[in-house]
Amino acid sequence: MIILTPKRSFTVPVGGECISPDTFAAKSTSEMANLPVWEGNKKRALGHLFRIELKTAPSESLTIRIRGDAGRIRRIGAKMSSGRIVIEGNAGMHLGEEMNGGAITVVGNAGSWAGSRMKKGTIEIKGDAGHYIGAAYRGSNKGMNGGAITIYGNAGNEVGCFMRKGLIKIHGDVGQFTGIHMKNGTIYIGGDSEVRAGAQMLGGKIVVLGRIPSILPTFTIDDIKSRVKIDGEKVEGPFYRFLGDLAENGNGKLFISQKQNTHLTPCERFL
């Protein structure tokens, strides 16, 4: 296990791309300390910003543990393919960007774009997360393409934007435009959702257990289902099933809790 402890708090953004089991593998502590890190416009060595302790010999599935606040450190675990990262505080933006395997656990909160464009692996966030979880890069239409993200707190807007595959589970509330432009995959929301869930979706599944203020006019009610399956696990309903987004000729499915959304009862007349 490698333990990284920040030597001081950071004000300007720090590029943490090198904090990845793939980069640390087969490196000595001094080699790790010499890895380049950008702090704003200053190029520093990792050892200049962090105290590095090596508890065991590095191996393919090594664990990196960050002790302290990493809220300003961006792209931790970017492109990692194996091993494990545990952050004992907050994590900055782009956590696990383009991740291809392994696992990341954040004990605190995570910034926006966590798991953006990830392909494999798991991300677990015990606190809240920002916007664009599992999303695409600006201007790209290729979001998350596999793996699983679990958030125990709340998340912001555009969760799963341009998502293609994989699972995002949020136990708290989410903002607007959940699953916008999504093509496939599953988004589960344990809490409430703001409006416009599933906007412009082409496929995939969004499940909302809590309340949603309204459904987009471009969705049509299709059925009432007693339960829904998420990653092999059955979640008891009943759920309204809406299909859309019809403005995009989409075939996405929106499962909305019937009990929590009595204001949607008038939709039942179209069944």
Of 26-34, 131-139, 203-211, 232-240, the segment contacting another protein by CB under 8 A is 131-139
Interaction with another protein in 163-192: which residues (CB under 8 A)? Answer: 176-177, 180-181
Q: How many residues bind another protein (CB under 8 A)?
A: 39
Using CB under 8 A, which of 35, 148, 199, 228 touches another protein? 199
- Residue 220 tokens read as 């049509």
Residue choice 220, 226, 251, 265 for contact with another protein (CB under 8 A) = 220
Q: Which of 22, 98, 128, 245 touches another protein (CB under 8 A)?
A: 245
Q: How many CA atoms lie within 13 A of 264 on its CB side?
A: 25
CA distances 28 to 8, 58, 85, Å, are 23, 8, 18
Closest distance of CB 219 from another protein, Å: 8
Nearer to another protein, 136 or 149 (CB): 136
Residue 112 in the binding site for another protein (CB under 8 A) = yes
Pairing mode, if any, of strands 100-106 and 233-244?
A: unpaired
> Interface with another protein includes 218 (CB under 8 A)?
yes
Instruction: Please identify, using beta-carbon distances, which residue of 2 and 221 lies nearer to another protein.
Output: 221
Tokens representing residue 119 in the block: 């392909």
Q: Which of 3, 25, 33, 38 binds another protein (CB under 8 A)?
A: 38
For another protein, the closer CB: 38 or 152:
38
Q: What is d(CA 31, CA 52) in angstroms, rounded to the nearest whole number?
A: 11
Residue 263 as a binder of another protein (CB under 8 A): the answer is no
Q: Which stretch binds another protein (CB under 8 A): 18-26, 51-59, 203-211, 212-220?
A: 212-220
Beta pairing partners, 189: 170, 208
Of the candidates 131, 164, 205, 253, which one interacts with another protein according to CB under 8 A?
Answer: 131
- Interface residue with another protein among 247, 251, 259, 263 (CB under 8 A) is 247
Residue 72 binds another protein, judged by CB under 8 A: yes
Residue 25 to residue 21: CA distance in whole angstroms:
6
Cα four-point dihedral sign 119, 141, 256, 174: positive
Binding of residue 39 to another protein (CB under 8 A) = yes
Backbone angles phi and psi of 24, in degrees to 5 = -75, -20
67 contact partners, CB below 8 Å, separation of at least 6: 3, 4, 5, 88, 89
Q: Name the minimum Å distance from CB 144 to another protein.
A: 16
Residues that bind another protein (CB under 8 A): 11-13, 15, 38-42, 72, 74, 93-94, 112-113, 131-132, 137-139, 141, 176-177, 180-181, 196, 199-200, 216-218, 220-221, 245-248, 267, 270
